Chain A
């Protein structure tokens, strides 16, 4: 490697700090904006230091009085987002675990066909199949329901594939030992396979929760009543309705900051899990 020289250290730190500033500045701006009155923000040089309106703004955002509707508030929208994200995450993990289990451990007719069919859907993201999906969901009468928000997003080739690869690394002797112990397939799945994939599940949980939370296009099409808006759509409505002057930037920014918190919390809480999982590898 290169010799350590003080200049190199200074330079690399400078580059790093610059990078962090570039990434963090918009977040900082949002935070600052959420602590001023609406009038203050729209002044020509926008204030760069926090103001004193934080409490009022967040209260307004959380419990309504923003321009969006009368009875919708961020608490409710975050609840919708949270429920949606959790259903998507849990559904995806459950379905992927089971389908990977079937593909790896069972012999059934058209098994390879099933596998490739699942694999092909990897190439078709929600955006590509959004019209037919909308038609199906509308015909089923699922518009503006949690079912409609989550079901089309649950089937997941990525997760199935990930679990399949993991199951393939589980030694065959473990299956055989379980058979000797008299464990049936589902018992083996529940007692051995799922506990062993704990760390993969944790990693997927983080990824899928954020995926579900950040869904934008699908809920935008799907939801037409305010009580079913997830928080991402809520923000969009706040900044997208009417003219520039009518936007409450302080409230919108407070909402944005609030919307960031749950995914951040999930990452921070679950990180411990999967880092631990990566460190002590089983033999």
Chain B
């Protein structure tokens, strides 16, 4: 198991003057056994960041370390990680067993041990009866589990998930979320999970990274992100319906914006009593979003 540290990670496409910066210096320290969700709108660079950790994208600047070892120039296979892809990327011509065993075969793990490890993973994921099938003979949910199985058998230091649930139906998605949680509790492997779905982010994350336009807007627990958003973007991105943003709220400083969560008291009488407008507020801060001002 391992910690992950991102130090001023930069990604640019192209060279010289025409280079397009995509990630503008991401800093994050992820401790061992943590489950981190990276969330953001599409195009914000979250998948790019994950793929840089995976070693599938070059790192243009900064350092990525896994377990204290800088992995910038290592091949994906040498980084001791496993990844679950959005479309699962199972080898279509191999059976479920071979799909899971392929990485181990390349590593020249003895056949007997491969069998033990695959059987164990299959048992955890309830794939035991499907081992001889080909991916096309499986349902979407089963394929997803095989993709997870392929990650588990490698016994990596870090799991990387690239929107693994977005091809599942709503019910299965909720169920799989729980399974991923359980799996994480059982195996305790440091995980990075990319999603654009904030429900997934809020329910799965121990801590979450909110990203926008190549910048890390906030890094904190779901509660922190929800109750004390660090920027207007985070405030409006997290929460459905989103936080109300009042530009000229009564009794607030000019040039500041007031944010109110929709579930918080909204009648003028109650609102007038809240902590962020009067010092004599009676409302517990847990359900009353404190003020935060940003010059408009």
Q: Are B85 and A283 in contact (CB under 8 A)?
A: no
Q: Are B76 and A179 in contact (CB under 8 A)?
A: yes
Closest Cβ of chain B to A195, distance in Å, is: 4
Q: Are A182 and B107 in contact (CB under 8 A)?
A: yes
**In the docked arrangement, what's the CA distance between A164 and B73, Å?**
30
**In the docked arrangement, what's the CA distance between A195 and B83, Å?**
23
**In the docked arrangement, what's the CA distance between A173 and B88, Å?**
8
**In the docked arrangement, what's the CA distance between A215 and B135, Å?**
42
Q: Quick check: is B91 within 8 A (CB to CB) of the other chain?
A: yes
**In the docked arrangement, what's the CA distance between A182 and B103, Å?**
6
Closest Cβ of chain A to B208, distance in Å, is: 24
Chain B: CB-nearest residue to A195 = B93
**In the docked arrangement, what's the CA distance between A141 and B280, Å?**
104
Residue in contact with B106 in the complex, picked from A181, A195, A198, CB distance below 8 Å: A181
Chain B: CB-nearest residue to A176 = B56
**In the docked arrangement, what's the CA distance between A195 and B77, Å?**
22
Q: Quick check: is A21 within 8 A (CB to CB) of the other chain?
A: no
**In the docked arrangement, what's the CA distance between A249 and B78, Å?**
71
**In the docked arrangement, what's the CA distance between A183 and B76, Å?**
10
Chain B: CB-nearest residue to A282 = B92
Closest Cβ of chain B to A253, distance in Å, is: 45
Q: Are B102 and A180 in contact (CB under 8 A)?
A: no
Closest Cβ of chain B to A185, distance in Å, is: 12
Q: Quick check: is A192 within 8 A (CB to CB) of the other chain?
A: yes
Q: Are A179 and B77 in contact (CB under 8 A)?
A: yes
Closest Cβ of chain A to B106, distance in Å, is: 5
Q: Quick check: is A94 within 8 A (CB to CB) of the other chain?
A: no
Q: Quick check: is A171 within 8 A (CB to CB) of the other chain?
A: yes
Closest Cβ of chain A to B140, distance in Å, is: 10
Q: Are B56 and A191 in contact (CB under 8 A)?
A: no
User: What DSSP secondary structure best describes chain A's contact surface?
Assistant: helix
Q: Are A177 and B85 in contact (CB under 8 A)?
A: yes
The total of chain A residues at the interface (CB under 8 A) is 20
Q: Quick check: is A114 within 8 A (CB to CB) of the other chain?
A: no
Chain A: CB-nearest residue to B82 = A180
Q: Are B87 and A181 in contact (CB under 8 A)?
A: no
Q: Are B56 and A182 in contact (CB under 8 A)?
A: no
Q: Are B103 and A174 in contact (CB under 8 A)?
A: no
Residues on B with C-beta less than 8 A from A247 are none
Q: Are B106 and A180 in contact (CB under 8 A)?
A: no
Tell me whether A174 and B91 are in contact in the complex, defined as CB-CB below 8 angstroms, given that A179-B56, A181-B103, A182-B103 are known contacts: yes
Please provide the chain A residues from 158 to 211 with a CB less than 8 Å away from any CB of chain B in the complex.
171, 173-174, 176-183, 187, 191-192, 195-196, 198
Chain B: CB-nearest residue to A179 = B76
Chain A: CB-nearest residue to B143 = A283
Residues on A with C-beta less than 8 A from B85 are 173, 176-177
Q: Quick check: is A244 within 8 A (CB to CB) of the other chain?
A: no
Residue in contact with B93 in the complex, picked from A176, A177, A196, A283, CB distance below 8 Å: A196
Q: Are A183 and B92 in contact (CB under 8 A)?
A: no
Closest Cβ of chain B to A81, distance in Å, is: 33
Q: Are B91 and A180 in contact (CB under 8 A)?
A: no
Closest Cβ of chain A to B163, distance in Å, is: 12
Q: Quick check: is B54 within 8 A (CB to CB) of the other chain?
A: yes
**In the docked arrangement, what's the CA distance between A191 and B92, Å?**
11
Q: Are B54 and A182 in contact (CB under 8 A)?
A: no
Residues on A with C-beta less than 8 A from B55 are 179
Q: Quick check: is B278 within 8 A (CB to CB) of the other chain?
A: no
Residues on B with C-beta less than 8 A from A280 are 136
Closest Cβ of chain A to B23, distance in Å, is: 19
Closest Cβ of chain B to A240, distance in Å, is: 49
Q: Are B106 and A183 in contact (CB under 8 A)?
A: yes
Q: Quick check: is B81 within 8 A (CB to CB) of the other chain?
A: yes
Tell me whether A191 and B102 are in contact in the complex, defined as CB-CB below 8 angstroms, given that A177-B89, A196-B93 are known contacts: yes
Please provide the chain B residues from 74 to 117 with a CB less than 8 Å away from any CB of chain A in the complex.
75-78, 81-83, 85-93, 102-103, 106-107
**In the docked arrangement, what's the CA distance between A282 and B91, Å?**
10
Residue in A171, A181, A282 whose Cβ sees the most chain B Cβ within 10 Å = A181
What are some 26 contacts across the A-B interface (CB < 8 A)?
A: A171-B87, A171-B89, A173-B89, A174-B89, A176-B89, A177-B85, A177-B91, A177-B150, A178-B91, A179-B55, A179-B56, A179-B77, A180-B54, A180-B76, A180-B77, A180-B103, A181-B77, A181-B102, A181-B103, A181-B150, A182-B78, A182-B103, A182-B106, A198-B93, A280-B136, A283-B136
The 3 closest A-B pairs by CB, nearest first: A182-B77, A173-B89, A181-B103
Q: A180-B76, A181-B102 are in contact. List 20 more A-B contacts (CB 8 A).
A: A171-B87, A173-B86, A174-B91, A176-B54, A176-B76, A176-B83, A177-B83, A177-B90, A178-B91, A180-B77, A180-B83, A180-B103, A182-B78, A182-B103, A182-B107, A183-B77, A183-B102, A196-B93, A282-B92, A282-B136
Residues of A in contact with B (beta carbons under 8 Å apart): 171, 173-174, 176-183, 187, 191-192, 195-196, 198, 280, 282-283
